[in-house]
Every structure is written in C-alpha cells, then in structure tokens.
Amino acid sequence: MSEFCLPVRVYYEDTDAAGVVYYANYLRFIERARTDWLRTLGVDQGALMESHGVAFAVRSLEAEYLKPGRLDDELIVRSTLEEVGRAQVVFRQNVMRGEELLFSARVRVVSFDPVTARAAAIPKDIQEKFKILEKVVS
C-alpha cells in the first residue's frame, strides 16, 4: 500500500458562510487520513503510548490551498510517504475532488515521549512498516 486514500464528504459544519470548506478543516481531513492509515497498518496510537511511551505529533507543515472545496463535495485525501527517519516521518497529502487538486500538504510528524516532551525513536516494528511503504513509493 504505497498510497492511502480516505473519502471525505463535505458537510455544512466543514464550511464557512459561503459554503466553502473552512481552511483549517483541510488539516482535520489530512489528520484523519494519517490516523486511519496507521490503523490499517495495525498501529493503535493509544496502545502505542501505553506499551512504548511514544506518541506522534506534527512538527511542521507546508500547505497550499489551490481551489475551494464546497458543501456536499465528495473528496479524497491521498496520502503517501516521502521520508522515514529514526524519529520522524514525512507525508505528502493531497485533497482531491475527482482529478482536481484542491489542497496539498507536506507534513513532518515526529515520534516523542509525552512525559519528557523529547524526541523518541519510532518503535522498530512500526518503523519497519513505514520503511516497506517508503520502498514501494521510491
């Protein structure tokens, strides 16, 4: 699975007064896609924190808002891995309406210990899953 796709329907609550997707909601859409992708890989983030004392957090984000999504649109969030490191993963995420690109982001996610707030290595079993995906993309 070199790409993960998550369908998203735009609801009234996702839009501003003009019926256009509110800019911050794209971040919610891509967060859901990353979380669901981890689930399909067998990674439960709550269990990860309990068993390994590790959590994931967004460290940086580059985003481009290209075209507006609108009320009732059927969107697809397409996620791919760009880079896997010892304590970080970089995702490319695009929000599409059909073949039309609406939003694009490059997201750097870090693994950290929530108690110390310091970087922590991604557990080996999860890193291996990411590395397999990274090879498929390369």
Which residues form the catalytic set?
16
Q: Under DSSP, is residue 136 helix (H, G, I), strand (E, B) or coil?
A: helix
With a CB cutoff of 8 Å and minimum separation 6, the contacts of 19 are 70, 71
d(CA 136, CA 134): 5
Which residues, 6+ apart, have CB-to-CB distance to 6 below 8 Å?
29, 32, 33, 36, 37, 76, 77, 79
